[in-house]
Each structure stands twice: as C-alpha cells, then as structure tokens.
Structure 1
Amino acid sequence: MPKKNSKKLSDKKQKERHRFFLNPYSDSAFTKCPKCDAKTKIRKFPLVIHIQPQQLFILNKQCRYCENCDLIITKKQEIESLMAAGFIQSNPKIIGNDYLVMGTVDRKDWKEGTQNALSPSEMLERIYVFQDVWDFEVIPAGWYRSE
C-alpha cells in the first residue's frame, strides 16, 4: 500500500525540462551560449506563458538553443510583440500585463491544444516547467581598467 501512495505523490510532482533565459537585450542575439560558449542552434519550442490575470498562452516560437547546457534563449521584445498581436482582437485589455514564461509542452500537446481547445487545467497537467531560469549580463567589448 505505501508504494501506491508514494506513486501518487510522484505523479503530482511537476515535471521539469530545459533551462531558460529571457533575453532583454535587443542588440544581442546570443549566437553562442553565454554559459559554455558553444554555438546555439535555432529550434521551435511551444512556450507556455502565464499572463496576469489568469490567462494561459502557448506560443510556438523559434528560439536559440544550446544543446550542451539545455538552454532556451528567446528575446523579450519578440515575445511581447507576438503576444500583443495575438490578443489585439480577442482581449486587448490584457496587452501590457505582467507575464511569466513558465515552461514548455510537447509538440503533440501543443497541436492538440490548437485543434481541440484543451481546457487550461488539462494543459497545466502537461507542462514541463523550466529546471532553472538564468540571467546574463552583456558586457560590451572594449578595453577596461583592471580593478
């Protein structure tokens, strides 16, 4: 019996996958990984975004991806403009609200959500939250005093 209870608890534990960096710099594309310096590739990821108040938005977006670090990098300005375009007709009051990029879903779940309109609770069960959210500071090239 205790094994079944522990299995139920592990089933309810949130699944994690990938690391994430929301790039606030408009002039930095991060063609190389800021962590390991390997070349990043371009991949599409169905990103799950929570917009205040209680709005779930899934955006299938091209992002930079480092396979070594399992790091997804996407530009903040691109996400905000795509969200604005998505809500300009359906819910213009939500444009400009605070948001959080929570994680990703499998491509098959994203397709099912676009075709069958899964409920938000069903989609929440399928989310892979990010293992970690990283932040990097860009230091412009040039000569600096040693301190």
Structure 2
Amino acid sequence: MSKISSKTSKPKSLKQRHRFFLNPYIDCAFTKCPKCETKTKIRKFPLVIHIQPQQLFLLNKQCKYCPSCDLIIAKKQEIEPLMAATFVQTNPQIVGNNYVVMGTVDKKDWKEGDKNLLSPSEMIGRIYVFKDVWNFEVIPAGWYPNKGKQ
C-alpha cells in the first residue's frame, strides 16, 4: 500500500512523455504499479540526468514500467553508483552533487549523445521531459488502530 503525491511545474512548451518515480526505498522493488496495482514490466529507457552544476548525463537504464499509467520507476540505489563510477576519473568534483532525472530521449538520440555527436544544447532540444514526477510513500504492512472508533 502506498500514498501518492504529485509535483508538476513543467512549462507546457516542452515535449513531454511518461511519468516518473525515483524509488528511494532499498527494500521495495515495485513489481506492481503503486498506483493501479497491475504488474510492472522491465524496459530500458535512455534517461537524461542533470547534475549540478550544468552537467548532463545520459543513462540507458533498465527500469520498472507500468504501461497502463505510463510510469517509469527507477531505483535511486542503482543510478547513483553508475553516475559516481562515470565521473570519478573524468570530473570528480561533481560526484555526490544534487541531480534531477529530467526526462528521456529517443534511442537514436541516446546513441548519438553517447558517441559525442551531439552538443549539450542540441541534446536539450531533443529531451522529452516527464509529464509528471510522482512520489510514493510506502506504508508497511501490519495491524493499525482504527482511528474512527473509540
């Protein structure tokens, strides 16, 4: 069981696709969608991550996906070590900085970006920002007192 909250502050002029949830829970895999309770699929998505200050990072990552809700669920504990391993040699001062998973790009754009054929400004023009970023609060299973009856 989970509670949902939503944050929406994206300008409508940007291309939008998918909803997103960055799973901070170590012990929750979300094999079922936390919103509609259908089984999630495993899909690869080319995620665009913005790391402070002014660093774009493209990551083709396996994520849980609910086709009914169009929801991508990525584990925070899997993304952070990949970012650290990438930048520990090339740009160590940004390791541990704040980051935001902004959206996705098409596979062909990810391949071009991976080969450094696109400049960061060109890549920004090709990003599909998330329609919505959701946050689910996991409520542990168990017996709880009924607040309505005394």
Superposition TM-score, scaled by structure 1 size: 0.90
Q: Deviations over 1:87-143 (max 9, x none)?
A: 111111110000000000000100111124310000000000000000000011111
After TM superposition, the structure 1 stretch with the greater mean CA deviation from structure 2, 121-130 or 76-85, is: 76-85
CA RMSD, aligned part only? 1.1
3-state SS of 1:30 partner: coil
Letter in 1 for 2:98: D
Q: Structure 1 residue runs of 4+, over 2 Å off?
A: none
Aligned to 1:100: 100
Displacement of 1:31 in angstroms is 0.3
3-state SS of 2:93 partner: helix
3-state SS of 1:38 partner: coil
3-state SS of 2:136 partner: coil
Aligned to 1:7: none
Establish whether residue 125 from structure 1 lines up as the match of residue 121 from structure 2. no
3-state SS of 1:137 partner: strand
**Structure 1 unaligned blocks of 5 or more:** 1-11
3-state SS of 1:136 partner: strand
Aligned to 2:137: 137
Q: Deviations over 1:22-68 (max 9, x none)?
A: 00100000000000000001000000000000000011100000000
Displacement of 1:69 in angstroms is 0.1
Establish whether residue 37 from structure 1 lines up as the match of residue 28 from structure 2. no
Rounded to whole Å, the distance in 1 between the matches of 2:120 and 2:146 is: 53
Contact kept, 8 Å, 2:58 with 2:114, in 1: the verdict is no
Rounded to whole Å, the distance in 2 between the matches of 1:90 and 1:100 is: 20
Letter in 1 for 2:29: A
- Which structure exhibits the higher relative contact order, with contacts defined as CA atoms closer than 8 Å and separated by 6 or more residues? 2
Rounded to whole Å, the distance in 2 between the matches of 1:88 and 1:117 is: 23
Matches within 5 A, 1:1-147: 13-147=13-147
3-state SS of 1:15 partner: coil
Corresponding residue pairs, total: 136
**Bigger fraction of residues in strand:** 2
Displacement of 1:13 in angstroms is 2.3
**Bigger fraction of residues in helix:** 1
